[in-house]
Structure 1
Amino acid sequence: MTVTPQEDFATRLDASVRDGTLARLTLGKPRGGDPTLQKIIIRPVTLKAGPHLSFVYRHDTRDITKNLPPAEAVREITRLVGTEFHSAHLDTTQQGVQLEFNKKGEPRLHLGRAAAPFPTDTAHDRAKPRLLTAEAQSWLHALGVTNAAGVVRDGLADKHRQIHKFTEILSHLVAEAPLTEDRPIEITDMGCGKGYLTFATHDYFDLVLKRSARVCGVEARPELVTLCNKIAHDTGRPKLSFVGGTIQNAELPDPDVLIALHACDTATDDALTRGIKAGATLIVVSPCCQKELRPQLKAAPVLAPALRHGIWQERHAEFVTDALRALLLEWAGYDTKVFEFISTEHTAKNLMIAATKRPGLARDDAAATKIRELAAFYGITSQSLARQLGFSLNHG
């Protein structure tokens, strides 16, 4: 009986898991329904419950990790290979095994030498690599996130995680954005609060990318402006500053990068408007408290039984608000991404909208039609960003 390449691969995979020679498995060439999923990286880990395989689902702007017992993991990999992924690269301590599918879906198996030695540490809680350098410890300590020894303080683990996750997301977005090379980049963090992410943004550009950038945090509370300016001065960050004011009235140079995280209700629209009108190359917002549209919701009759419940009204208002924002950005000449910022396990304010300015086209008429159709479906006649951009939500 002839063994197919796919069956041969499955047998070798199962053997490497059973005898402990599996080093790493990478599934590539995704064919599933999620366009943001790039690949899955699988490695052995040791948990309190015993040996498992860790699956890291690598998306455009985030990673999701799942751990499965060995037998279940092998079944899941076998299911994925040839259906949702057309490339599987198995590295064991003894050899490399690669299964590839051509355009016709025909599999081919390639055997090779073992790659360079992989780390043998299978600890689940290995320290994650961070994009922020050791110099970040000075402001993390000054802002009270860590103690003098660099240990995260009680109750601030989620904030510490959020800072690093934001820096990781920013690194992906900046890599795709056509930021200017002929002058310092102007970066504004609107409504920056205590400045955690403003400091992180400065350090990523200045110490990691080593790009010339001026970073400014805007905050309405004068005591926080004073505190952050003092820390920026004391930690030797002359290109980082903080000013008092609101999103609408702060006097600033036009930003190349505009950030506004957790600006409440229509304050997010104020930030988007300022970024669009300034022609910012990259706009990053994380909205919250989307209250404006809830009183207007008059959805199609089929939704009426559901929307009589307050929780569904709230969630529909959030969805419609942010969907309109994303479409209005596209109409205004931006490519948009909407994704989870950080897991809801750590914060409910987890949605992020990122917009990168397209060259050339300033207005997109096709997007205008989509905006008006969505607004009409939910009975929306007025929305803050649309008003500020002079966009009528009504047909005709």
Structure 2
Amino acid sequence: MNVPARDRFLELLRTALQEGSLVKLTLGKHRGADATLRNLFVRPVQLKSGTHLAFVWRHATRDITKNVAPAAALAQLEPLLGRDFLDAHLFTQTQSAQLETQPDGSARLRVQATAASPGHGAPAGAPTAGAHDAARHYLIPPNAPWLRGLGVMNDRGQPREGMADKHRQIQKFAELLSHLVAEAFPASDVSSASGADAPDATAALAAPSPATPLHVADMGSGKGYLTFAVAALLGNRARVQGIEARPELVALCNRIAQAEGMGEHLSFAAGHIADTPLPHCDILIALHACDTATDDALARGIQAGARLIVVSPCCQKELRRQLQAPPVLADALRHGIFQERQAEFVTDALRAQLLEYAGYRTKVFEFISTEHTAKNLMIAAVRTVTPGADPETAARLRAFAAFYGIRQQALASHLGVSLLPERPFVPPLPGETSDA
């Protein structure tokens, strides 16, 4: 008798829960009533009361975490499979299983063996899942003291429980920033104090600080994970300041920076993105600034003449109320999820065009895979020319805005750019005056 794919998947999940071999479970392709829900991630966590399962409900703008006893987990997960979520991916210590459900209810199950973990039957000398990471070259050493101070890594240089994704994000950001710095600041601009040519920008930036360091501002630095990464990457060649509205986080980060010997080139100050003074700024960073706070940060960077601006927007709410569906898209945009994604696309596409209008060359790309963070879009801008009136670019901006019914936008307002269509000149008819 053929056992349905869904039932076989549930049996694999039940076995993993009973044996304690579950590594993680990912549910995707949500089609339930809540249009903001994206994924459900499940992983084991150790609490004082014993092992539980952390259910992380990932929404468009927030995560909700609930800890569930293993005995109750299956009852909560079973009704979600194939109904609220069409994709389910199970990872255990010995295999992975993926259940794909079609809208018509048919399902397919794929099961694949994985490398055995240490202590679970791995033959002597066999490579383990962590072997690749252990040999991998990181720009930020995993044993960096500040990573321990922020609670990311333990004393053995390994991610703490629940912090592997954060460590991966930090390393990926350092890698991306190193390339962007090399593009924005050619080696000839950042050669070391001795005058020797540097092989790349990050090597030059790590050299002893010359008389005029680069000034970096991280607007909305939060707990400072990526601010510390910037300071570690650029070294004494830069002066990095994190701006954060919550004074308790400012105090925490300053304590760690001082304790780990980074206080001379890394500091944190209490303030808001819109009004914190920026007398000089070479690199401006704003990661996950909510809604128009991203526009405030972009405007601050442009006005300060920053050569490199890096932002990762989130909560693109401002334009959604203005969006008017072009007739050809009206049917598709009846669905809330498409409206939300269109608002994100239009907002960030307009920001990229406004940066280009202001004299920057832009790149828009995925920061890190969506499984590791929901806020994964990044806009990077490198200044190329002095801003000036460019009628052609302005016309394209207005045409794009008009197509979606956008009449005003925060960054455009900061830059004094009108998004309203220009009224064409119509010559008067015979017998009429020009101002009739």
Q: TM tier, shorter chain?
A: 0.5 to 0.7
Query: Residue in 1 aligned with 2:159?
Result: 152
Conserved 8 A contact 1:331-1:365: no
- CA distance in 2 between counterparts of 1:380 and 1:361 reads 23
2:260 to 219, 222, 235: 235
What is residue 108 of structure 1 aligned with on the other side?
none
Q: In structure 2, the residue corresponding to 1:150 is in which secondary structure?
A: coil
Note the aligned Cα RMSD (angstroms): 2.3
Within a 5 Å distance, the mapping from 1:345-364 to structure 2 comes to 345-360=371-386, 362-364=388-390
Task: Report the equivalent of 1:129.
Answer: 137
When the two structures are aligned, how many residues end up with a matched partner? 277
- Correspondent of 2:149 among 142, 157, 161: 142
Q: Is the 8 A contact 1:341 1:352 kept in 2?
A: yes
What is the rounded CA distance, in whole Å, between the counterparts of 1:242 and 1:290 in structure 2?
Answer: 27
Query: 1:133 is aligned with what amino acid?
Result: P
**DSSP 3-state at the match of 1:388:** helix
Determine the C-alpha separation between the residues in 1 that align with 2:371 and 2:273: 29
Give the Å deviation of 1:122: 8.0
Is 1:221 the counterpart of 2:246 in the alignment?
yes
Specify the structure having the higher radius of gyration (Cα). Answer: 2
* CA–CA distance in structure 1, aligned partners of residues 356 and 127 of structure 2: 44
TM-score, normalization by structure 1: 0.66
1:195 aligns with 2:224: yes
- 121-130 or 155-164, which deviates more: 121-130
* 1:314-344 deviation per Cα after TM superposition (whole angstroms, max 9, x unaligned): 0000000000000000000000000000001
Cα shift at 1:368: 1.4
Divergent runs of 4+, >6 A: 121-124
Give the equivalent residue in structure 1 for 2:206. none
Unaligned 5+ runs, structure 1: 1-47, 50-120
Contact 2:290 2:313 in 1 (8 A): yes
1:347 CA drift (Å): 1.2
Paired residue for 1:168? 175
Matched, 1:292 2:299: no
Q: Tell me the secondary structure at the aligned position of residue 420 of structure 2.
A: coil
Pick one of 211, 229, 246 that aligns with 2:272: 246
- Does residue 1:184 correspond to 2:184, yes or no? no
Distance 1:365 1:183 in 2: 37
**Aligned amino acid, residue 259 of structure 1:** I
- Is 1:264 matched with 2:290? yes
State the identity as a percent. 61
3-state secondary structure, aligned to 2:321: helix
> Structure 1 residues 225 and 327, CA, compared in 2 at 3 Å: closer, same or farther?
same
Tell me by how many angstroms 1:360 deviates. Answer: 4.3
In structure 2, the gaps of 5 or more residues are 1-93, 96-125, 191-210, 423-436
Q: Is the 8 A contact 2:278 2:304 kept in 1?
A: no
CA distance in 1, matches of 2:387, 2:372: 39
Q: Is the 8 A contact 2:364 2:380 kept in 1?
A: yes
Amino acid at match of 2:234: F
Task: Give SS of 2:362's match.
Answer: strand
Deviation at 1:146, TM superposition (A): 1.4
Question: TM-score, structure 2 length as denominator?
Answer: 0.60
Q: How big is each residue's C-alpha offset from its partner over 1:127-177, in whole Å with a ceiling of 9 and x where there is no partner? A: 22101136x621111111112222211111111110000000001101100
Secondary structure of the 2:147 match is helix
Q: Deviations over 1:23-63 (max 9, x none)?
A: xxxxxxxxxxxxxxxxxxxxxxxxx89xxxxxxxxxxxxxx
